[in-house]
Amino acid sequence: MHFDARSLAALTGLGLLLAVAGCDSSAKPIEPSLPQPRTISGSLQLAVGCAQGAQAARRPAEPSVAAEPGNPRQLVASWLENQSPDHVGITVALSRDGGTSWSRSPLPRLLTCDGGRYVHVSDPWASIGGDGTIYVASLGTQAPTAAGTAHDIVVSVSRDHGTSWDPPIVLDTGTAPPTQPDKEAILADPRRPGTAYAVWATYQVAPGVEPSIDKVMFARTLDGGRAWSSPSPIYSGNDEAQENQLLMTAGGVLLDVFVEGSSLPGTPHPPPLPVKIRAIRSTDQGQSWSAPIDAAHFTYTNAVDPGTGGQLRFFGQDITAAAAGNALYVAWFEAHTEFSSILVARSEDAGLHWRTPQVVVREKAEAFLPTLAVAGDGTVGLLWFDFRHFTPKSSVLNTDVWFSSSRDRGLHWSESHAAGPFDLRSAPAVRFGPFLGDYMGLCGLPDGFAAVFIQAKPQSRNGTTDAFFSHIQG
């Protein structure tokens, strides 16, 4: 995912008004706790070329999770992770018993030390079709050359529940400068075997300047990932469209949901600018797309370390979206000086119209990085992190994982503690602060949710971070 600052901020007043109307966290009863999550990351059987030299510490981040339609005991999770001293690749974990046990392996033939073309692979996104075909999309970065740095949108496919993988297929490539593809998402069509869709952003890049206005690109496969259509632009506005996510309704409407706003240099405290969540719709499997529909306007902010005031890598552009039937949901966070909130907006008619957002979380402490999913019975689930257990002047940044669910389409919510606390400051440091990922994994099951998320020490045991799984009952 690209993070310059698009550190945007919107000043529409809607998010602020709704958040102020919420209940103060001090009046809340003690939240119940969910069962302890299990660690699913750990040692890997690496290719010989990747295993040579000193083994880098395990540093899982940015997980995605998917369940097979009609067979929810088949789960796949993916995350990015060091696979040699100098290479970052993708780990895939598979469960055939609903998450009780897991096997894991590197996604093959991506890294140069494994016969691939990349020194860094990121942004893993997993989806499973009704025929059991697994698709994992990722962003591959090649070694820099005098001409620039090449980035590829790549898809890996397995047709035997992850036992073997086809050679990765490049959907699009760009060399920065002048162009850079970024932050892809993939969706296997739950109704059409062998059909899947991919979406990503392509930025215009100039030397020494943050990427500017972008295009949203799209491709699809009709033969189980063996061949893909040529990339085509499906949206280009006057601002940047980021965090593209694909959804499909029960009526077969395909949607791309994204956040759109102006670009700024990276700053810890961005000035206010208008930001909106938008959706475009396709009723013909991505061959044509509607004009954008506004789902929500909100105040764009970024999280900061409450002890030091330092910037953290959690931005208002980290939106999330989910679908169930013809209902759609989007969520985002806002971190204000006196309070923090997570809001959810919904549509009942496949994205044509959107209701006024509901405040799901309001805390004096910062709440950030929401992730949405919908269970088989229509229960909406929301996973996030917050700092409510942080102690001022503490040497550790206590961070917890929380989960809230709604059985009435987002009108009322029930909150539980999911995991933690862990010290966010102990997570690997990257640009913009400690890194857990720009999203977490959550998918709906018939009897609840499959959640995959990252925690740092002291919860992590195999490295500075670990990936954890929870089967959360709705």
CA nearest to 134, candidates 65, 83, 82: 65
Rounded to an integer, the average pLDDT of 436-448 is 96
pLDDT mean over 24-32: 51
- pLDDT, tens digit (0-9, with 9 covering 90-100), for 106-153: 999 999 999 999 999 999 999 999 999 999 999 999 999 999 999 999
> For residues 181, 182, 183 and 185, what is the CA-based torsion angle, rounded to 10 degrees?
20
pLDDT in tens, 252-266: 999 999 999 886 545
Look at residue 271 in the predicted model and tell me its pLDDT.
66
* pLDDT at 169 > cutoff 90: yes
From the centroid of its chain, how far is CA 26?
30
DSSP strands (E only) in 177-269: 179-188, 196-204, 214-221, 232-235, 240-248, 254-261
Over residues 19-48, the mean pLDDT reads 71
Q: How distant is the alpha carbon of residue 172 from its chain centre? A: 20
Confidence of residue 417 (pLDDT cuts 50, 70, 90): very high
Whole-angstrom Cα distance, residue 348 to residue 322? 12
Query: Nearest-5° angle of CA 461, CA 453, CA 366?
Result: 105
What percent of the chain lies above the pLDDT cut of 70? 89
Q: What is the pLDDT of residue 11?
A: 32
Nearest to 320 by CA among 252, 213, 247: 247
What tokens appear for 101 in the block? 């046990």
User: Measured between alpha carbons, how far is residue 357 from residues 12, 119, 135, 190, 278 in Å?
Assistant: 13, 42, 32, 28, 14
Interval 295-315 mean pLDDT: 92
pLDDT at site 402: 98
**What's the pTM?**
0.92
Q: Is the pLDDT of residue 231 over 50?
A: yes
Q: Where are the domains of the chain?
A: 14-472
**How many C-beta atoms lie closer than 10 Å to residue 230's C-beta?**
7
pLDDT surpasses 70 at 15: no
What pLDDT does 323 receive?
97
CATH of 14-472, one of 1.10.10.10, 2.60.120.330, 2.120.10.10, 1.10.10.60: 2.120.10.10
On average, the pLDDT of the chain sits at 90
